[in-house]
Structure 1
């Protein structure tokens, strides 16, 4: 039995990026058309990834993917196809959910024998990964509003319905029925476990405390869907190397913390607009979910250590991982910072920007360790956007304390970028597209000179970067750029 075709037909390849779009991105900008090209390419890649997963399951040894498991995958896909015919957008919401990406990658590794399973048989991790397609299909069908009955398996005390929430329950198979907007969950013996009601906004609600819904933060712009604050998806930090990148572990937010996130989020849209309409546009187009992290490593009751941490994942396009920002202004700047990484990673997947190797050898004022060229480019790009954002914020701030804080942030970011731009510009390994991008970054960097920061902030920023380089050289020996 050949695998079922992936619904719907995969869109045609994205044509080469026009130079005017590339120049927009080089200035850390991008209108809806330009950003839409990146989004469509990433969505196409997600469909191809899912196609590859089904093909890998069909080609895997029976020990890794036994016939019953393969049949189940095809049944799940048939449910997705049925939901697709009813409401394409609903299915895409689930399949393009950022955290579906890490799951699909993990499945592929397991099916190839390089992940959780072996050729002697699937490990429990691979079995759970394969089961997750059933949960994705059920969530898509719920969103599409179609009647279905299926069986799901809870793992590690949670039954996940991606983009909707999770149910605290003992691990094991559960019967699921959805009809007339109501989801019924029954135990293996037939006993009623939970009833959920699908809501018009795409959420699922229940008064039962065992149900953990995904919090839906209001849309950044009218006409768009809400932004999930996903603290229950089992793949939200899988394989992300949080500690290695200085990030804290994923956390579940309680009712008090949810209120704090929601209050801070309420001020994000107007503050993004302070940095230019393009900042609100990129967040509205690119941001698909937030994943809450705990306090940063090293933080303590006395306030020592980092106050905030955030990150993105290339395999989870559209997700921003973040500890709770202290203020709406820092929430907005976190999005500015992280969405540049999202944007640049998507651009690099579409067109090669350089041919430098991955050897970590470059000084970056925002890191204590040597960086590879690509990491240097990523960091410079995001810090350049921050320098632009904080300069605009400072020029529009009415309160002296807000203005001083913004100028300090701007001056530090601008000096950090200035310390590494010569390395980027001097690389002979830049492609034509990479050269256009870096040239536009240089243009924006010099445009910031039109409104320099106060002398004191500039002097402190220059001293900060100079000190960072001395410490870096002492720590990393004779390695140079």
Structure 2
């Protein structure tokens, strides 16, 4: 068994569980990798030819880095809040790719380097370190990660911070003052300032969760549309209220799914990224249909359209945080030696999946089957109970259709086999409280039909 991940931790994670200490192992590793990635960006800029990173841009990067260092000396945790913000990951990876591509500096690379100025400014604000920098807007917004954004059409903008107040001097308008409160929240009487909405902590005493609809990198380069998801959106004031109202019931419903569901959300979740209404949901996006996803490079972020109810909000977190856990675990230990060929049937997707995608999907769906079963057993109203049993039965049958493929794969490593064996134990444990026969029959028919359609569509590619 891996020396990096103790056997008891691997088994906990295999059961889609994990206490705070086990999940903390994943968090510490991901945070360390973020710091290494940021250092790689600095080193790549220093090593890049002048055509890729011209002297003026390099000087600016050095100044931003120096501001970050000064802020970290003043308040390390405050700065780490900014550097570990999930959406700093996609930015850093894209910037590193641009600095190492040997292509002449273009608009995207310049924007990426400018975003470092925004990150450094946000870190300095949180640490209480004064500064004055110039920064240009992106798409009509000048975003300061983890804090908020300024509506501005013409740049550059002069930002000055001193003694708890941020002063914004646009090129085409009056000054704007933003008050920075001790807890990191912001306020301004000027409607040009858009504060980042913070959802309450998953459990009392924890950290609030950002609802980030302002960061320019929240879906950039994610290919969300290719995966059947809608694009990111900036939510209106009335939508912020509905998000907060739906969120308010999540803690109770996660607890219904087991204390471990509350623990994983409180330890892993750092921000929600709102997506627009999913395809087919109608013009208002207020139907029960919703979509969600995660990004490996944005550890701690869940992308989602607004779920119709708190129950679906909770199940979305259960679903997506399993992907977060498994992706983080996969960077620590090798779970299989399968290639990337897309040839496996997965009842939750119309297209052939690679082995890793099959494992990811089965892992998240067995957690969902467990969550909905617990929900059904606790539900008092028959309509809620029926809905939960239907969701449970569908997820359970979907997992049952692919577990034999996973279990029979010779490509699993010892760690991967331990993980899959624990998934199988959860699957069989679900038999202790079977769904009503009608739900089971419909779920079996659903999976059988999905396989027939998949085989007709993909022919010889089936496995």
Relative to the length of structure 2, the TM-score reads: 0.97
Q: 2:106 aligns with which of 103, 123, 126?
A: 123
Query: Residues 14-29 of structure 1: matches in 2 within 5 Å?
Result: 16-29=4-17
Q: 1:299 aligns with which of 260, 270, 281?
A: 281
1:296, 1:306 within 8 Å by CA — same for their partners in 2? no
* Partners of 2:166 and 2:285 in 1: CA distance: 45
> 2:176 maps to what in 1?
194
Q: 1:463 aligns with which of 435, 438, 445?
A: 445
> Structure 1 residue 136: deviation in Å?
0.2
2:376, 2:388 within 8 Å by CA — same for their partners in 1? yes
Residue 477 of structure 1 aligns to a residue in which SS? helix
Query: Residues 141-152 of structure 1: matches in 2 within 5 Å?
Result: 141-152=124-135
Residue 341 of structure 1 aligns to a residue in which SS? helix
- 2:404 corresponds to 1:422: yes
1:298, 1:305 within 8 Å by CA — same for their partners in 2? no
Q: 2:152 aligns with which of 169, 184, 200?
A: 169
Residue 478 of structure 1 aligns to a residue in which SS? helix
* Partners of 2:334 and 2:362 in 1: CA distance: 17
> 1:180 maps to what in 2?
163
* Partners of 1:397 and 1:266 in 2: CA distance: 18
> 1:3 maps to what in 2?
none
> Structure 1 residue 171: deviation in Å?
3.7
* Partners of 1:203 and 1:58 in 2: CA distance: 35
Segments of 5+ residues of structure 1 without an aligned counterpart are 1-13
- 2:141 corresponds to 1:153: no
> Structure 1 residue 15: deviation in Å?
5.4
Instruction: Name the stretch that deviates more: 213-222 or 146-155.
Output: 146-155
* Partners of 2:167 and 2:285 in 1: CA distance: 46
Instruction: Name the stretch that deviates more: 438-447 or 209-218.
Output: 209-218
Deviations 1:272-309 (A, max 9, x none): 00000000000000001000000102332598998100
Residue 178 of structure 1 aligns to a residue in which SS? strand
> 2:430 maps to what in 1?
448
Query: Residues 73-472 of structure 1: matches in 2 within 5 Å?
Result: 73-113=61-101, 118=103, 121-187=104-170, 192-301=174-283, 307-472=289-454
Q: What CA RMSD, in Å, does the superposition of the two structures yield over aligned residues?
A: 1.6
Instruction: Name the stretch that deviates more: 70-79 or 360-369.
Output: 70-79
Instruction: Name the stretch that deviates more: 406-415 or 203-212.
Output: 203-212
Query: Residues 19-58 of structure 1: matches in 2 within 5 Å?
Result: 19-58=7-46
Segments of 5+ residues of structure 2 without an aligned counterpart are none
> Structure 1 residue 223: deviation in Å?
2.2
> Structure 1 residue 78: deviation in Å?
1.0
* Partners of 2:93 and 2:314 in 1: CA distance: 30
Instruction: Name the stretch that deviates more: 141-150 or 44-53.
Output: 141-150
* Partners of 2:342 and 2:408 in 1: CA distance: 17
Residue 421 of structure 1 aligns to a residue in which SS? helix
- Structure 1 segments, 4+ long, off by >4 Å, are 301-306
* Partners of 1:320 and 1:469 in 2: CA distance: 29
Alignment length, in residue pairs? Answer: 462
